[in-house]
Amino acid sequence: MGRLLEHRLELARSLLAMGEIDRRGRHRSAAIAAFHEARAIFMGSGARLWALRVDEAAQRTLARRTADAAALTLAELRTAELARTGLTNREIASVMFVSSKTVEANLSRAFSKLGIQRRGQLPAGLGPQPTLNDAP
């Protein structure tokens, strides 16, 4: 095995380990990026068993995101859906008959469970966009 190939495989193994650490640290998008890069190197080097290991790790990461989305409480889900439509925290509080602080807390927990950091990432973590018929 050539030196360059050894270095590339070592890089890929390091990316796999980094992805696992990111996944455990709830940095799912960083984990997926590391897994994607590691898989590309393993496949390009002919290390198919290592690529399968990366696929399994990526599936665990994606399965966790799906499980977390299902774990949202009704209040967190409703708050996140309203935030996704572009309403401000004050407007969401008015619609839900709660305080702005409650909206902030619900969004914070929902973001944590979904593994996201911004409102702009909400469509990726939630189901389909609500229609006008679903509006409050």
pLDDT tens per residue, range 8-54? 889 999 999 999 898 888 888 888 899 989 999 988 888 888 888 88
* Angle, CA of 8, 11 and 17, to the nearest 5°: 145
Among residues 69, 98, 124, the one where a domain terminates is 69
C-alpha pair distances (Å), 57 with each of 16, 31, 42:
8, 9, 14
The verdict on 41 and 96 lying in the same domain is: no
Last residue of a domain, one of 51, 69, 87: 69
For residue range 49-75, what is the model confidence (pLDDT) as tens digits? 888 888 888 887 776 555 555 678 888
pTM of the complete model: 0.48
- Count structural domains, the chain: 2
